[in-house]
Amino acid sequence: MKRLLAGIVATLAAAAVVGVAALYLGLAPVAADQSPSTVEARILGFALHRAVLRQTSGAQEPPPPSNEDLVSGGEIYKEMCSRCHGEPGAVSSPLGSSFYPPAPLLPGHKSEWSERELFWIIKHGVRNTAMASWAALLADDDIRQVAALVKRFDTVPVSGRAEEAAH
C-alpha cells in the first residue's frame, strides 16, 4: 500500500514538474486565434461556473422584472452589449467572435446562468476574457435590468424590440 501511495505521489509530482517546465519554456498555447483544447475549455469553464456560483451563493434571485425594466434593459443592451454579444436576429457578432474565448451570442438563446449570476458577471466581468466589469459604468439597477433581459432572451421576439419583450 505504501509503494502504491508513493507511486501516485511521484507521478503527480512528475506531472507538476513537466507542467511548470512547459509553462516556463513558453510552450503553453496563448494565441487568441487558436481554439483551446477540450481539456482547457472544460477546466476553465468548470472553474468559471464554480467561482460564479460561490460568489453568488448568498444572494437571492431578484424579483421578476417589470415591463419598464425589460425595456430599459433592452436599451442598455443595445447601447453597451450588442457589439460583442450580437443584435437580435444576427447569426453572430464579428467583434465578439474574434475574442478568446468568443463572446456568446445572447439574443434568442436561453441562458444557463441564473439572474443573480448574470448580475454578478455583468457587474464584475470575467478575468482573461473580453468581458469587462461594468460596475464603474452602470448602476446596479441598470445591471439588474440587463441581467433580467438576458435571462429572458430565449423568449424575446426575433425583432429584438424591448417593447415586444415586455408584453
Shared domain check, 74 and 26: no
156 and 93, same structural domain? yes
3-state secondary structure of 100: coil
The answer to whether residues 91 and 9 belong to one domain is: no
CA 117 to chain CA centroid, nearest Å: 9
Determine the pLDDT at residue 63: 92
Q: How many domains does the chain have?
A: 2
Q: Which domain holds residue 98?
A: 67-165
CB 97 within 8 A of CB 125: no
pLDDT of residue 161: 52
Both 23 and 71 in a single domain?
Answer: no
The ranges of the chain with pLDDT < 50 are 158-160, 162, 167
pTM, rounded to two decimals? 0.80
Contact 156, 149 (CB under 8 A): yes
111: left (phi over 0), alpha (psi -120 to 50) or beta: beta
